[in-house]
Amino acid sequence: MSTFPTDGAKVYRRLLGYVLPHWPAFAVAIVALLLVAATEAGFAAFIKPLIDGSFVERDQRIIMYAPLVLVGLFFVRGVAAFLSSYAMAWVGRKVINTLRGEMFTHLLRLPVSFYDRTPSGTLLAKLTYNVEQVARATTDVITILVRDTFTVIGLLGWMFYLNWRLALVLLIGAPLIAHVINLINRRFRRYSTRIQDSVGDVTQIAEEAINGQRVVKTFGGQAYEQGRFDQANERNRKLNMKLESTNAASVPVIQFIAAIAAAGVIYMALQEVERSELTVGGFMSFIAAMMLLLAPLKRLTKILASLQKGIAAAQSIFDFVDTPAEPEPGNKQLARAMGAVRYQKVSFRYQEDSELVLHDIDLAIKPGQSVAFVGRSGSGKSTLVGLLPRFYDVSAGQILIDGEDIRSLGLQSLRDQIALVSQHITLFNDTIANNIAYGRLEGASREAIIAAAEAAHAMEFIRQLPEGLDTMVGENGVLLSGGQRQRLAIARALLKDSPILILDEATSALDTESERHIQAALETLMQNRTTLVIAHRLSTIERVDCIMVMDKGRIIESGSHGELLAKNGQYANLYRLQFQDD
Ligand SMILES: Nc1ncnc2c1ncn2[C@@H]1O[C@H](COP(=O)(O)OP(=O)(O)OP(=O)(O)O)[C@@H](O)[C@H]1O
Ligand SMILES: [Mg+2]
């Protein structure tokens, strides 16, 4: 089709690629649609012998068989209509299914940065609404294009066969009438939108009087406001009356024009009957065909709009599917890392054109050591540890695990080395056991899950739940308390048993009892692992091998707890402040 832009054609072709695998069902739908079109024209054609045979010639055979033919015609039509709808829907649903599947697969492979800039509502709308819209538009468009085009051809063909002069007049005259009706319709509509636009004043004036009532009262503005309001109120009434009369006039005016046109056709047709060029049945049949033409023609004129809607929706889906997935430049596989972590001159910014969030970070952590990061909110702690599992890639410098640049490792292999307990704990709407043995831990033995839960000090509360490990946690674990959720996250990390651990402690206030449980769980978790911990609990901090104090994206102090206290710098300050609080 030459009427829509080339990329529209490209999108449509790509979409048809999804239909192609289902061509047998598609072919059934097309054949059924052709059959529907044939019965439509057939119905118009049937009227001629019906009327001429029965009413005019009183042919007994026709009087006998006409009802049967009618029933047969509608039977065929019904079966064909059902088949075409069913087969079309089948193809459409298959396409929706495939598109959704592909989108979801892609969703899981997109980088964190994509989620930063795309609202989840937009994504969900694409996955649900847009996909439906695409399938609807494509199947509707094809249905209309095939069924209605052939219906129109069939009916016109029959009309030409009946009386070509009359048909020709109609073929030339109809677009003219349609054009006139369209013009009048549009004029009416333009007029009524213009009126509608000017109806707003009443609310505006009332709103001012309501919000400004203190001023109105103290300055005695009642008479002024009343005057303004009455004026607007009256104007509103007049405008609305205009609107009503316009709307009320439009339908009869258009119907009247259509009636004049119809009268013209009937007049000419009757002339043909008079000249014996048309039988009575032929006349009736011709009028019936003319009536039957209206609906498919109307649908065909609207087809371009639905086509464009569908293409726009498809375009947005394909744009999504085409956004690059997480980059995976290297594919080296690590078995189990020793757990040496090194940051070399690492700088990072979230967007190309934004400020640096991390400046020249240098640090080296030996296997099994633990390092704590402390510092003000927004100093870059979560950002720093988030670079290790490559949620984002460094802007400058490099990060090494066991001497390998993490970008040279396969993403899965890299992430297999790391367990993460993040600031925002995520639980899935599933059982406790499945939440602990999540993802690649699926298939862990019941004993292993219990051991992890035990070590995370989670079994204590799990045992008290009615269904123990098989209790559903609700959407994002709403049925559990904050401390209980944290312990499940720790159990999950324990079960993963990876050489590197990232702990982004939540700052949520816990009672001392839960605090003690979680502290004990964390200590178990940190044993024999390289740990990067963002610590808020003093007890966690005191026990780590090294503390890094961060400020505005830089490490400004580092050393052990004792060393830093002796230094009497930033850390000593922070410590004293927190100590006072506690
Ligand atoms: N996804 C993001 N996109 C853009 N900027 C971000 C993003 N996440 C964090 N930032 C910015 O980076 C800076 C560091 O944030 P980060 O989350 O690393 O701080 P933090 O030290 O972990 O703070 P907190 O103790 O409150 O958790 C902040 O200025 C923040 O506004
Ligand atoms: Mg943080």
Residue nearest to atom 5 of ligand 1 (CA): 350
Distance 350 CA to ligand 1 centre (A): 9
CA distance 419 to 460: 23
Q: Is the dihedral of CA 451, 452, 458, 464 positive or negative?
A: negative
Tell me the CA–centroid distance for residue 200 and ligand 1, in Å: 45
Instruction: Calculate how far, in angstroms, residue 509's C-alpha sits from the geometric centre of ligand 1.
Output: 21
N-term to C-term CA, the chain: 74
Length of the chain counted residue by residue: 582
Residue nearest to atom 14 of ligand 1 (CA): 380
In the numeric block, the tokens 């300050």 are attached to 573
Residue 535: CB partners within 8 Å, gap ≥ 6? 372, 373, 374, 503, 505, 541, 544
Backbone angles phi, psi at 16, to 5 degrees: -65, -25
Which residue is associated with the tokens 């720093």? 384
- The string of DSSP codes covering 505-572 is -------HHHHHHHHHHHHHHHTTSEEEEE---HHHHHHSSEEEEEETTEEEEEE-HHHHHHHTSHHH
pLDDT of the chain along its 582 residues, tens only? 344 455 788 888 898 899 899 999 999 999 999 999 999 999 999 999 989 988 888 888 888 888 899 999 999 999 999 999 999 999 999 999 999 999 999 999 999 999 988 888 888 888 888 898 888 888 888 899 999 999 999 999 999 999 998 899 888 888 888 888 888 878 777 777 777 666 667 888 888 889 888 989 998 899 999 999 999 889 888 888 887 887 788 888 888 888 888 888 889 888 888 888 888 899 999 999 999 998 998 888 888 888 888 888 898 899 999 999 998 888 889 888 888 999 999 999 999 888 999 999 999 999 999 999 998 889 999 999 999 999 999 999 999 999 999 999 999 999 999 999 887 888 888 899 999 999 888 888 999 999 999 888 889 889 998 889 899 888 777 788 888 888 899 899 989 989 999 988 765 556 666 677 777 888 888 888 999 999 877 777 777 899 999 999 999 999 988 888 898 888 888 888 776 665
DSSP code per residue over 49-85: HHIIIIIIS--HHHHHHHHHHHHHHHHHHHHHHHHHH
Q: What is each CA distance from 255 to 23, 78, 249, 259, 348, in whole angstroms? A: 44, 32, 10, 6, 70
Q: What are the C-alpha distances in Å from 223 to residues 220, 229, 384?
A: 8, 10, 66
Mutate which of 357, 391, 549 for ligand 1 pocket (most atoms within 8 A of beta carbon): 357
What three-state secondary structure class fits 325?
Answer: coil
Are 95 and 19 within 8 A, CB to CB? yes
Query: Ligand 2 centre and the CA of 351: distance in Å?
Result: 18
- Rounded distance, CA 92 to CA 164, Å? 41
Alpha carbon of 503 to ligand 2 centroid (Å)? 10
Which ligand 1 atom sits nearest the alpha carbon of residue 375? 21
Mutate to test the pocket of ligand 1, among 118, 347, 349, 350 (most ligand atoms within 8 A of CB): 350
Measured at the alpha carbon of residue 99, what is the angle toward residues 122 and 23, in degrees to the nearest 5? 150
User: How far is residue 361's CA from residue 377's CA, in Å, rounded to a whole number?
Assistant: 18
The model's pTM: 0.77
Nearest atom in ligand 1 to 550's CA: 21
Which residues neighbour ligand 2 (ion) by CB within 5 Å? 382
Q: What is the Å distance from ligand 2's center to 383 Cα? A: 7
- Ligand 1 atom nearest 113 alpha carbon: 1
